[in-house]
């Protein structure tokens, strides 16, 4: 008579595996993406200083004094690289790369910088007891060894307006007075529903918070599609900071957010005006040098472990 292995009932494994995985997932997500009632809340930035030419300011205007720390996959950091490139600030503002650490979480320096191996060490050099999130982009002051600003929406305004005396394309104004109202109103809508909206889809912890985020994301994309029927850019025929802020999300959309974050009602490619708009901005001088699609895919799919435990990168 053949001996039969006694196995535990399948349901036992399923219940245990579900319980363990769900508890671990919730723990990891609470670190990665703070949630309130199942809905993702982006933590606010902590360093909000300005650079200007007033002599009593700590952060005065100088070429080669400030440096940007960026990670290539990050859409918020990408904004700052785009403005630096468009304004022609490559020779006055240095860029240093950080890369995601698969095992420790957080960012590590591509090369030792300010004697720091990690971005957290850099934050703590600036503020020794700093315990908050260590995000990119960081606008760093090499003279005082402190963080000037770590909020991308502010850094791009600083780069657009304060460094004109060193910029090779100083005449380009991405935030002109006569368009400010229109730029601010697009920014408000796009930040919440698109830039952060894709994260609200991906990091949602309940079906209803996901559906709310996903429906509002696509409703705003539909509005933008309609607006672009008669306009080259969001605010007319001039490229502005609103376009920069939208572009960095759109260029990542079909290759990452569509599948990893379940932003799957439509692809950007299927919107005729939006896809024309992305190509148009992409073809501006040197914009293609500000990002790398392979790195973007590898970082998102490889590092957001709770959303993609196998680390598999989908083919596209
Ligand atoms: N408020 C920031 C958000 C930047 C941000 O969330 N960056 C992400 C990368 S895409 C980050 O560095 N996350 C690391 C962390 O939260 O620990 C900005 O817009 O500058």
Containing structural domain, residue 128: 66-161
Instruction: Examine the domain organization and report whether 79 and 107 are in the same domain.
Output: yes
Q: How many domains does the chain have?
A: 2
Does residue 8 lie in a domain region?
A: no
Given ligand 1 and candidates 29, 45, 46, 76, which is best to mutate, with the most ligand atoms within 8 Å of its CB?
Answer: 76
Q: Which of 59, 66, 199, 300 is flagged as catalytic?
A: 199
CATH classification of the domain holding 272? 1.20.1050.10
Per-residue pLDDT of the chain (316 residues; tens, 9 = 90+): 455 666 667 788 888 888 888 888 777 777 777 777 778 888 888 999 999 877 778 999 999 999 999 999 999 999 999 999 999 999 999 999 999 998 888 999 999 999 999 999 999 999 999 999 999 999 999 999 999 999 999 999 999 999 999 999 999 999 999 999 999 999 999 999 999 999 999 999 899 999 999 999 999 999 999 999 999 999 999 999 999 999 999 999 999 999 999 999 999 999 999 999 999 999 998 999 999 999 999 999 999 888 898 999 998 7
Specify burial of residue 205 (Cβ count, 10 A radius: 0-12, 13-18, 19+): middle
How far from 245 is each of 178, 303, 309, CA to CA, in Å?
A: 19, 23, 30
Does residue 34 lie in a domain region?
A: no
CB count, 10 Å around CB of 297? 18
How far from 110 is each of 95, 96, 144, CA to CA, in Å?
A: 11, 8, 22
**Burial call 80-104: b when 16+ CB within 10 Å, e when fewer:** bbbbbbbbbbeebbbbbbbbbeeee
Least Cα distance to 30 among 117, 89, 105 occurs for: 105
Give the span between the Cα atoms of 236 and 122, in whole angstroms: 40
Nearest CA to ligand 1 atom 11: 135
Enter the pTM of the model.
Answer: 0.94
Does residue 57 lie in a domain region?
A: no
């Amino acid at each position: 008579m053949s001996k039969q292995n006694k196995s535990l009932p399948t349901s036992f494994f399923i219940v245990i595996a579900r319980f363990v995985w769900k508890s671990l997932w919730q723990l990891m997500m609470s670190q990665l993406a703070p949630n309130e009632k199942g809905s993702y809340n982006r933590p606010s930035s902590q360093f909000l200083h300005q650079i200007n030419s007033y002599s009593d300011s700590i952060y005065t205007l100088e070429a080669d004094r400030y440096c940007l720390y960026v990670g290539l996959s990050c859409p918020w950091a990408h904004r700052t690289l785009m403005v630096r490139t468009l304004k022609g600030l490559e020779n006055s503002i240095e860029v240093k790369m950080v890369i995601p650490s698969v095992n420790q979480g957080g960012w590590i320096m591509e090369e030792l910088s300010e004697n720091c191996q990690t971005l957290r060490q850099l934050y703590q050099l600036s503020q020794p007891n700093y315990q908050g999130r260590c995000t990119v982009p960081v606008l760093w002051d090499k003279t005082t060894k402190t963080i000037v600003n770590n909020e991308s929406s502010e850094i791009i305004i600083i780069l657009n307006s304060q460094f004109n005396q060193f910029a090779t394309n100083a005449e380009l104004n991405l935030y002109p007075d006569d368009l400010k109202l229109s730029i601010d109103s697009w920014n408000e809508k796009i930040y919440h529903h698109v830039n952060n909206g894709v994260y609200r889809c991906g990091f949602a912890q309940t079906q209803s918070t996901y559906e709310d985020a996903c429906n509002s994301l696509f409703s705003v994309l539909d509005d933008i599609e309609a607006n672009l029927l008669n306009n080259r850019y969001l605010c007319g025929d001039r490229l502005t900071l609103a376009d920069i802020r939208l572009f960095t999300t759109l260029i990542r959309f079909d290759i990452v957010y569509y599948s990893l974050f379940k932003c799957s009602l439509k692809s950007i490619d299927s919107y005729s005006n939006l896809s024309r708009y992305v190509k148009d901005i992409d073809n501006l001088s040197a914009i293609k040098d500000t990002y790398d699609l392979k790195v973007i895919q590898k970082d998102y799919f490889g590092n957001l472990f709770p959303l993609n435990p196998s680390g598999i990168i989908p083919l596209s």
